[in-house]
Amino acid sequence: MKKILLALIFLIGMFSTGFSQGTAIYTVFVNIVPEEFDMPLIGFVNIATGNHSIPQIGFVNWNTGDFSSLQMGFVNTTGNNSNGVQFGFLNTSAGDKDGVQFGFLNTVARSAEGFQFGFVNAVANDTKGLQFGFVNTSAGDIKGMQFGFVNAATKSGEGFQCGFINTATHKLEGIQLGFLNHADSAENGIPIGLFSIVRHGGYRAFEYSFSEFFPLNIQFKLGVEKFYTNFIVAYNSFNEIDPKQIITGLGIGSIFSLSNYLFINPELNSLYSLFSDENNLWLSLTPFFGFNINKNFSITLGPSITWLHAFSNTELQKPSFNIMENIIDENNNIVIGAKACVRFRF
């Protein structure tokens, strides 16, 4: 134990001497060099004061000023701006970062322009480039791409977020693709996912509709007008095959305004008889024409084209009415019908 303490005291003494006198200490274990040193640092601990553009390869690499080269080790740190590559378990840049970080945890204390590949990637200011990891965060604006399980942009997101959870705390001006998307507003952006929540300017609506297959359809729409998700529950008490049949499904849709009152609203929906022994699948395309009664209520009407498929030996459900019907075989049918809806937006 005494020998270890003496060794540490000796190393601290060498560290302070190197800093005070500006001389280089270059050993296999510890390298401490001043700013004018121009040889690569290869050792267990590498400490370079001032600005450097020489490679640092070791367990711990620390550059106190600007750095523009390669740091490869378990812990890599730059005290100011970094323009180069950091490859290690923990990579940190206390200034701006223009380059690449490969590691388990990559952090930039200011803005980043380049690439971050790791389990956790974090930038304290603006990000311009690519973040690829399990968790990607940018505390400023992001103009680039985030790929991960959780992607977060504290300010505006002007790029592309792809993950299970995507968030833009302020304004979304790019694209979010994931299971759950969240944004404060989305003036020019589009969230695409199963659940897309936009606090200001988002689209949320309940709807009752009547179609050739189901006289009772209840739908919940969530997202933005440019792209929303449709959650559907349908019931047909007139179905002779299974009078207790309850249908569930999902869909997508878009709203294109023609004026303050008129709009076009194409929807693509898929429904499945989940709670029935008569397993049918409905895939329906409906180009709606809509009219806004006021800011909350609207009505829509349009033709529907439905492909109906019966699994195994189950029977095809018959429509209550149709414009045209084409029975392909005992398991497939194409029906052209119509659908009318009353919608409440909140």
Residue 201, φ and ψ in degrees, nearest 5: 85, 10
Record the pTM: 0.83
Vertex 228 angle, CA 180 and 200, to 5°? 75
Contact 284, 271 (CB under 8 A): yes
- Residues of the chain falling short of pLDDT 70: 1-22, 237-244, 275-278
Stated as kind and residue range, the H or E segment containing 148 is: none
- Sign of the CA dihedral 66, 68, 69, 73? positive
CA angle in degrees (0–180, nearest 5) for 239-242-247:
80
Q: pLDDT for 69-100, tens place per residue?
A: 999 999 999 999 999 999 999 999 999 999 99
Q: Look at residue 276 in the predicted model and tell me its pLDDT.
A: 66
Beta partners for residue 310, in sequence order:
280
Amino acid at 153: A
Nearest to 113 by CA among 149, 140, 75: 140
Quickly tell me which residue has 């204390």 as its tokens. 109
Burial string for 66-87 (b: 16+ CB within 10 Å, else e) reads bbbbbbbbebbbbbbbbbbbbb
Quick one: DSSP state of residue 314? Answer: P
The domain made up of 204-345 has a fold known as: Porin (2.40.160)
Look at residue 317 in the predicted model and tell me its pLDDT.
84
In the chain, where are the structural domains located? Answer: 19-200, 204-345
Q: Which long-range contacts (CB under 8 A, 24 or more apart) does 309-316 make?
A: 309/280, 309/281, 309/283, 310/278, 310/279, 310/280, 310/281, 311/279, 311/280, 311/281, 312/279, 314/277, 314/278, 314/279, 314/280, 315/241, 315/278, 316/280
pLDDT computed for residue 304 by the predictor: 96
In the prediction, which pLDDT does 187 show?
78
Q: What pLDDT is stored for residue 156 in this prediction?
A: 73
3-state secondary structure of 310: strand
Q: State which H helix or E strand residue 284 sits in.
A: strand 280-292
Write the single-letter amino acid at 213.
F
Cβ 178 vs Cβ 167: under 8 Å: no
> What is the pLDDT at residue 80?
94
pLDDT value for 7? 47
| Per-residue pLDDT, 311 | 84
Convert the pLDDT of each residue in 97-121 to its tens digit: 999 999 999 999 999 999 999 999 9
Identify the bridge partners of residue 183 per DSSP, sorted by sequence position.
168, 198
Contact assessment for residue 333 and residue 317, using Cβ atoms and an 8 Å cutoff: no
What residues contact residue 258 under an 8 Å CB cut-off, 6+ apart?
264
